[in-house]
A and B are shown apart, each in its own frame.
Chain A
């Protein structure tokens, strides 16, 4: 993937990103409370560091930046972004909301699940520029203002519904949406079978295989609130 992640001056010629660039930029952004200057001022003048070996001429194209506002967890954030920035990368790399995880980055694993206007989506397949008027909730926004856990978070803890925890933020957002979808449904409130819970959670892959405990946690919140 040729997507450039992080501040533009980190990018290698041609816009390609090495693993080292990625880790460095991710580390620098994760520790920053505010936007990197080059991003905040809306300029795109970052010059790649001179390579040790002359590289082939990079493809040159004008980088268009767009100023947008994102409403995330009831806070407004002003951003200057490229249209190709995904919502996932905006959350993690620009807003330092690293609870939302990047798994496959191709819409197959669900680790990046967030709620947009109350509905769960894969933030890796959605462009940030399209979410200007949306109400976005990430795993950081599930708990109450006083820090109390969402009932689903508490149930995940009680049922040990994780092992490594990498997929957990996506599982939680997905499970919270599942609850809401079930409450909204017009059909008689049939009790969901475990198979139905599994089907409705099937967009979230858990490589550790914590599925039985995830289903138990969702089951408990569905049945007892």
Chain B
């Protein structure tokens, strides 16, 4: 069913147009990396503060609130260009192990953000200026650093469809 969806999109004239354009792929890919730098870079600066690794002169609410807009700008660029990259070559990404692993990790990162903001962050006024925040906040920071690093690593690995786990090939998922 998912496969039919990807095949259907691949046949759209707009998908063909992106795929066959000489400039679309380099422009989208370069913008995707720049969006990633802004988003992941500023998220990690915030995570370092949360984890107690650095940026200790800035309060938690400041490092969260003042960088939030720019993180969202980077995220918007990455999501739009990423979606267009997938839209232009759906059947290149459909059989790719790393493509699905990356999307799964993004969902996990989203769950970490949701849990942190609805639970841990609610008590921020009590530890806003602590150089080393409480365990739950440090954990959220470390989990975020690990997940976003993994997303960057796995995202780059999409370019190496030949270097996937053997079971992915054994199950015939690479076609």
Q: Please determine whether chains A and B interact with each other in the same assembly.
A: no
